[in-house]
Amino acid sequence: MTAYTATVTVSLKGGVLDPEAETTQRALERLGFELETLRSADRYEVDLNAASTEEAADRAESMAERLLA
The domains of the chain, with CATH numbers, are: 2-68 (3.30.1280.10)
**Strand ranges (E), the chain:** 2-11, 41-50
Beta bridge partner(s), residue 48: 4
Position 69 pLDDT exceeds 80: no
pLDDT at 16: 92
Please tell me the predicted confidence (pLDDT) of residue 14: 87
pLDDT digits (tens, 9 = 90+) for 15-59: 899 999 999 999 999 999 999 999 999 999 999 999 999 999 999
Return the pLDDT at 67: 83
Cα-based distances in Å from 35 to 25, 32, 38, 51, 58? 8, 10, 8, 44, 36
Q: Please provide residue 33's backbone torsions phi and psi, each rounded to the nearest 5 degrees.
A: -85, 135
Amino acid type, 43:
R
Residue 68 pLDDT > 80: no
What pLDDT, on a 0 to 100 scale, did the predictor assign at position 57? 95
